[in-house]
Structure formats: structure tokens, C-alpha cells
């Protein structure tokens, strides 16, 4: 179908659209680009007041740490190629090979396998191939851009960031799965019930959504810390200290996330004609069976979009995780905050920046993977009211 918007657009308007978007993209990406640049420089370059020195890193270069033209070209092309694969090919593969009705799991497994192979190629194979290439290609192989990965190895190997990464994975996986399981059930129930009770639950959920989190967390903190003592009469000596347990944090995050989840999913379910499950009910299915057999196969776009928002909430959360998890056993975001808190030197600061960039990278790929789902999910749900 021809897009009439496009045809009748005067050239001036189109040009200004392009200019505005270019400007917006620079504004959107610059802060992130800049912390990435800082993170690969030695401290003296990283906080230099001349921006060109920050970008080219003469001090870093003089220490023999840099990238040659070949490194840059090949590195960039791999990244762009990966991005292309992620947005197009991966989606098709997942759609093709996922068993019917399990598209969500297909996406998770596909994304994981893909991410893993990228890490192996990019960090494992590429550096040695490149160093070989640099050696044999003469002047092209000379370093022109200061680049040092030492802060990253400090973060990941010395500061044991891998442990925080594992915690993050555990917490986010837990939150996303439980949130969606509870949320789809409740969202479906609310969408199909027209009672006043359903309305009030939605309104109260909305007010809960608006509560400042610090208020809630203070409610749990004393209980979590003293839970071993409080629960001893019930569980005996095996009573757990909930403070510092990732699962307890998962429960809190799920609860905080429920209001948004049920609102989103409810509006998706409302889009699914109720004739569909009523037909199944006529065929003798119970509500649960109707839900499982008829609704589940068609609900994935909504679930993926909602799941992404749950993921972002859990992955990015700072307040809850930093207050309820023990400092040495936290997820990545509070770990970074404490790195900034304990910095006493400029090197510490650049290391913390490298950690910050490390957190952003998975999000970067996540957007690549799911960009289309976010847009089409929102279009499908159109998130009414």
C-alpha cells in the first residue's frame, strides 16, 4: 500500500524531519558514546579537558595501547554485521524453529545462544586474528587511537563483577518469569471480568504504581534483617535471614512490578475477542483450559512487550536491590554505585565507568533483538487507557 504521507510531503518538511532526527540521535546517543570512550582510556586522557585528547587518547597511545585502522574497520564491521543479523535473521530463525506456542522461550534461548557466540567471536577469536593481521600489514597496522581494555579486565576479573552479573541474571530471570506468570493470569481475569471489584483492583494497582519505592522498602527492611529471629518460632532453627537473599528481592520486585504488568496485559487481552475463549468454553473447556489452549498461543506479542518492561525494571533497579541485598552479593547496578562510593582515585573512577558501560552493553543488544517486538507489541496493544 502506498503511504500517502510520503507522497505529498513537501521537500522542506522532509528535510527538516531528517535534520531533526539527526540532531535527536546525537542527543540521544552522545552521553552513552562518551562514557564508552572514557572507559577505554587511561585516567589522564579520560578526564582531559580537551575533548580531542579524550577521543584519541595520546597518553593511552604512548603506553602502547591502541587500535589500528584495521582493528577499527574489522571491529566495526563485525558489530554492524551482528546488528544486522540480530534485527533480521535471528527473528526469522526463532520464528521458524520455535515450537508452536513457545515463542517466548524460543526468543530467550535464541538470544542467549546468539549472545554467547558473539562474545566468543568478538572477545575470544578476533583479538588474536587482529594482532596477527596488524603484524603483517605494515603502516596500516600502526595504532592510531588510544584504546585500553585494562579497566574492563579490572572490573570483570579483579572486582569479580561476574558474580554480580550472575546475580543480575538470576534476579531478572526470576522477576520476568514470575511477573509474567502472575500477570497474565490476573490480566486475563481482569480483562474478562466487568465487575466493580475488578475496577477497584485496577485503580488501587494504579495508585500502588505511583508509590515512591523508598516508602515500601523501609517497610520491609527491618523485617528482612530480623527475619531469622522473627520466623524462628515458626520454622525453628532453619529460619532464613531474608536480607541478602536474591529470591526475597525477586518477590519484592515482582510485587512492585505487578500493577504495571496487569494493566499492560489486561489491555492486550481486551484486544483479543472474547468470542475466542467463549467458543472454547462452549466446547467444554474450563476457564483455565480456554486460557491455556486458546489465549496463550495468541498472547505472545503482548507478553514479550510487557516482559521487556519487567526486564528493564528488574535489571535497572537500584533502590530495592541496594537496600535488600548484601553489598558484596548484589546485582550489577548497586555494585556500580558502591564502586563510585568507594572511589578514592581517578583510576577507580574510570574503572567504575567501565563497569557502567558493561551494564549497558546487554541492554544494547536487547534493544537490537526486540526493537521490532517493542514497536509491534505496543501497536498491537496500543496500550489503551
Interacting residues with another protein between 169 and 208 (CB under 8 A): 181-183, 185-186, 188-190, 192-195, 197-199, 201-203, 205-208
Three cell numbers written together for 370: 526486540
Tell me the per-residue interface mask from 280 to 309 with another protein, x by CB under 8 A, - otherwise: ------xxx---------------------
Tell me the per-residue interface mask from 35 to 54 with another protein, x by CB under 8 A, - otherwise: x--x----x-----xxx--x
Decide whether 78 or 202 has the Cβ nearer to another protein. Answer: 202
Q: Least separation, in Å, of the C-beta of 103 and another protein?
A: 20
Residue 234 as a binder of another protein (CB under 8 A): the answer is no
Q: Least separation, in Å, of the C-beta of 270 and another protein?
A: 8
Decide whether 57 or 99 has the Cβ nearer to another protein. Answer: 57
Q: Is 145 helix (H, G, I), strand (E, B) or coil?
A: strand
Report yes or no: 285 and 208 within 8 Å, Cβ to Cβ: no
| Candidate segments 93-101, 110-118, 140-148, 239-247, binder of another protein by CB under 8 A | 239-247
End-to-end CA distance of the chain: 30
Three cell numbers written together for 29: 546517543
Among 148, 167, 172, 258, binds another protein (CB under 8 A): 258
Distance (Å, whole) CA 28 – CA 26? 5
Q: Least separation, in Å, of the C-beta of 76 and another protein?
A: 14
* DSSP codes joined into one string, 192-239: H---HHHHHHHHHHHHHHHS-HHHHHHHHHHHHHHHHHHHHHHHGGG-
Q: Least separation, in Å, of the C-beta of 93 and another protein?
A: 18
Residue 340 as a binder of another protein (CB under 8 A): the answer is yes
Binding positions for another protein, 111-140, rule CB under 8 A = 123-124, 127-128, 131
Among 138, 139, 236, 344, binds another protein (CB under 8 A): 344
Residue 236 as a binder of another protein (CB under 8 A): the answer is no
Residue 251 as a binder of another protein (CB under 8 A): the answer is yes
Q: Least separation, in Å, of the C-beta of 272 and another protein?
A: 14
Residue owning grid cell 585528547: 53
Q: Least separation, in Å, of the C-beta of 142 and another protein?
A: 19
Q: Least separation, in Å, of the C-beta of 60 and another protein?
A: 14
Residue 256 as a binder of another protein (CB under 8 A): the answer is yes
Q: Least separation, in Å, of the C-beta of 139 and another protein?
A: 23
* Closest alpha carbon to 348 in 158, 166, 165: 158
Binding positions for another protein, 148-167, rule CB under 8 A = 153, 157
Query: How many residues lie near another protein (CB under 8 A)?
Result: 129
Among 74, 93, 216, 285, binds another protein (CB under 8 A): 216
According to DSSP, residue 99 is labeled P
Alpha helices in the chain (DSSP H): 4-7, 11-39, 43-46, 51-56, 58-62, 69-84, 90-97, 103-119, 126-136, 150-153, 161-192, 196-210, 213-235, 246-271, 274-282, 287-290, 300-316, 319-324, 332-342, 346-381
Decide whether 72 or 211 has the Cβ nearer to another protein. Answer: 211
Decide whether 210 or 234 has the Cβ nearer to another protein. Answer: 210
Report yes or no: 188 and 263 within 8 Å, Cβ to Cβ: no
| C-alpha distances out from residue 67 to 45, 127, 143, 357, Å | 15, 11, 5, 19
CA torsion through residues 237, 242, 246, 249, sign: positive
* DSSP codes joined into one string, 286-345: -HHHHIIIIIGGG-HHHHHHHHHHHHHHHHH--HHHHHHS-GGG--HHHHHHHHHHH--S
Binding positions for another protein, 59-118, rule CB under 8 A = 87
Amino acid at each position: 500500500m502506498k503511504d500517502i504521507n510520503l507522497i505529498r510531503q513537501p521537500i522542506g518538511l522532509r528535510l527538516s524531519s531528517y535534520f531533526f532526527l539527526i540532531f535527536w540521535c546525537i542527543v540521544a546517543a552522545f552521553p552513552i558514546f562518551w562514557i564508552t570512550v572514557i572507559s577505554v582510556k587511561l585516567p589522564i586522557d579520560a578526564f582531559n579537558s580537551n575533548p580531542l585528547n579524550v577521543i584519541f587518547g595520546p597518553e593511552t597511545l604512548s603506553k602502547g595501547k591502541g587500535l589500528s585502522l584495521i582493528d577499527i574497520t574489522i571491529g566495526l564491521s563485525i558489530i554492524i554485521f551482528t546488528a544486522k543479523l540480530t534485527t533480521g535473521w535471528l527473528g526469522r530463525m526463532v520464528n521458524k524453529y520455535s515450537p508452536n506456542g513457545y515463542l517466548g522461550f524460543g526468543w530467550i534461548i535464541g538470544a542467549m545462544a546468539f549472545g554467547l557466540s558473539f562474545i566468543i567471536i568478538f572477545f575470544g577469536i578476533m583479538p588474536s586474528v587482529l594482532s596477527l593481521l596488524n603484524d603483517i600489514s605494515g603502516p596500516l597496522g600502526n595504532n592510531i587511537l588510544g584504546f585500553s581494555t585494562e579497566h574492563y579486565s579490572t572490573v570483570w576479573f579483579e572486582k569479580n563483577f561476574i558474580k554480580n552479573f550472575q546475580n543480575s541474571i538470576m534476579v531478572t530471570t526470576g522477576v520476568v518469569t514470575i511477573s509474567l506468570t502472575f500477570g497474565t493470569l490476573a490480566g486475563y481475569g481482569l480483562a474478562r471480568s466487568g465487575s466493580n471489584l475488578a475496577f477497584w483492583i485496577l485503580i488501587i494497582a494504579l495508585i500502588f504504581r505511583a508509590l515512591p519505592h523508598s516508602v515500601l522498602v523501609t517497610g520491609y527492611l527491618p523485617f528482612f534483617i530480623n527475619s531469622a529471629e522473627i520466623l524462628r518460632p515458626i520454622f525453628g532453627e532453619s529460619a532464613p535471614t531474608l536480607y541478602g537473599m536474591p529470591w526475597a528481592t525477586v518477590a519484592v520486585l515482582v510485587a512492585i512490578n505487578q500493577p504495571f504488568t496487569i494493566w499492560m496485559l489486561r489491555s492486550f487481552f481486551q484486544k483479543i475477542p472474547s468470542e475466542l475463549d467463549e467458543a472454547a468454553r462452549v466446547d467444554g473447556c474450563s476457564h483455565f483450559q480456554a486460557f491455556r489452549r486458546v489465549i496463550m498461543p495468541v498472547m505472545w506479542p503482548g507478553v514479550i512487550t510487557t516482559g521487556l518492561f519487567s526486564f528493564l525494571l528488574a535489571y535497572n533497579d537500584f533502590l530495592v536491590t541496594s537496600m535488600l541485598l548484601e553489598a558484596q552479593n548484589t546485582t550489577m547496578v548497586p555494585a556500580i554505585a558502591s564502586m563510585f562510593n568507594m572511589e578514592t582515585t581517578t583510576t577507580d573512577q574510570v574503572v567504575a565507568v567501565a563497569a557502567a558501560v558493561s551494564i549497558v552493553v546487554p541492554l544494547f543488544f536487547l534493544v537490537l533483538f526486540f526493537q521490532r517486538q517493542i514497536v509491534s507489541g505496543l501497536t498491537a496493544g496500543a496500550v489503551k487507557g
